[in-house]
Amino acid sequence: NIVFWISEHQEDYMRAWLDGYTVEKPQLFKLIFPNSTTVLQKDGELNSFADTVYKRYLIGNAMTEQEIKSIDERYWQFAVPVEDGE
């Protein structure tokens, strides 16, 4: 309940209200496999795409470090950070 949380954390609430706050987004990674247009999808499946749609699927399936490692830690070696605006 939000009202209960505010009553228990009044100082934090007031600091956020007065100073503003931002919610940090987790760093996302795309997986670049050498000499390949294969994309690791969020469901853990590997699919190969034509060059024309490869980048769109690559960014669309970007994941956090934890998500990648939960599929298979060996994929982590191919992780490249997604930059803002990609």
Q: Which residues of the chain have pLDDT under 50?
A: none
Write down the pLDDT at residue 64. 96
Please give the pLDDT value at position 41.
93
Instruction: Give per-residue pLDDT as tens, 22-43.
Output: 878 899 999 999 999 999 999 9
Task: Report DSSP state, residue 6.
Answer: H
Number of neighbours of residue 70 by Cβ within 10 angstroms: 11
What percent of the chain is helix, strand and coil (3-state, nearest 5)? Answer: 45, 15, 40
Q: How many CB atoms lie within 10 A of CB 29?
A: 19
- What's the length of the chain? 86
- Using the structure block, give the residue that is written with the tokens 């100082």: 11
pLDDT of residue 20: 83
Residue ranges covered by each domain of the chain = 24-86
pTM (2 d.p.):
0.69
CA distance 38 to 36: 5
